[in-house]
Amino acid sequence: MKDIYTDVCYKCSKLVTNNYSTSFSLGVRLLHKDFVMPVHAIYGFVRFADEIVDTFHTHNKKELLNRFIADTHDAINNKISLNPILHSFQDTINHYNIDVELVNTFLRSMEMDLEKQEFNQDVYEKYILGSAEVVGLMCLKIFVEGDEKKYLELKHDAMKLGSAFQKINFLRDLKADYHTLGRAYFPNFQLESFNTVTKKEIEKDIQKDFSEGLRGIKLLPRKARFGVYLAYIYYFSLFTKIINTPAEKVMNTRIRISDSKKYFLFFVSYIKHSLNLI
């Protein structure tokens, strides 16, 4: 009966992915079937933790996050949880032997969001590590299926790809993060002084991360390559659109990719994957 329970829990994580992110859920569907549900489990966990610090403003967020952290460790240690999101997550963590310190590093970044932070370069890099880079490493652990040599070979590039994705999210959500959540993630950032020069400096940093991330995608096992490449193509398309958008519009508008463009990107990515051009 536990197998049925575990299956139901994974389906709950999949439901979270599908409801929170159409773009990410599309990328996950294009992974090999062996990877789909474990990646849903990672996303469901990350999404719920993020939801606590970003959304539950009428509740004691610190108390909720502390309880979530305690329940996470209890689930991993005991290999079971009555929280379906945590149960599927612990099953993935334990099955793929994912280092719990990656989980702890992520959770520390969520704790940082509970308080107003002054983001200098060190704090910025610490937050990127926890909120994005280690999530990429959790997924990489799944993709290499126990091949530790391959994991170490791709570790740096996976971190950089996660970093690029997160920095684009920061650029896309500048206004909402600043005015709604009171956050400014870029080092020493002031929305009032955001201009073309500042924007170009940020874009140069993201471009470097993207280049290193793409290098790693090309070396991924073929079972994982297409889904990850599609995520890369989507974010790079979003990045290109941001590059071509004036600073004042980026500051006041959430840049998006249309659904029709997403499906076009899927088609192009599929052709390249089929012809082994990735």
Q: Which amino acid does the sequence have at 59?
A: H
Residue % of the chain over a pLDDT of 90: 68
Model confidence over 54-79: pLDDT tens digits? 999 999 999 999 999 999 999 999 99
**Residue type (1 letter), 263:** Y
pLDDT of residue 118: 80
pLDDT higher than 70, residue 5: yes
Local structure of 30: helix, strand or coil: coil
C-alpha distances in Å from residue 126, one per residue of 68, 105, 106, 155, 171? 21, 9, 10, 17, 18
**The tokens 């470097």 sit on which residue?**
208
Domain boundaries, given as residue ranges, for the chain: 1-95, 129-278
Provide the token pair at 184. 């400014």
pLDDT: is 165 or 23 the higher one? Answer: 165
**Above 80 in pLDDT, residue 120?**
yes
Question: What CATH homologous superfamily does 129-278 map to?
Answer: Farnesyl Diphosphate Synthase (1.10.600.10)
pLDDT at 1 > cutoff 70: no
Neighbours of 133 (CB within 10 A): 25
C-alpha 224/C-alpha 144 separation (Å) is 9
CA distance 38 to 43: 9
Residues 6+ apart with CB under 8 A from 30: 226, 227, 230, 266
How far apart (Å, rounded) are the C-alpha atoms in residues 213 and 179? 31
Residues sharing a CB contact under 8 Å with residue 131, sequence separation 6 or more, in sequence order: 106, 109, 110, 166
pTM of the predicted model as reported, rounded to 2 decimal places: 0.91
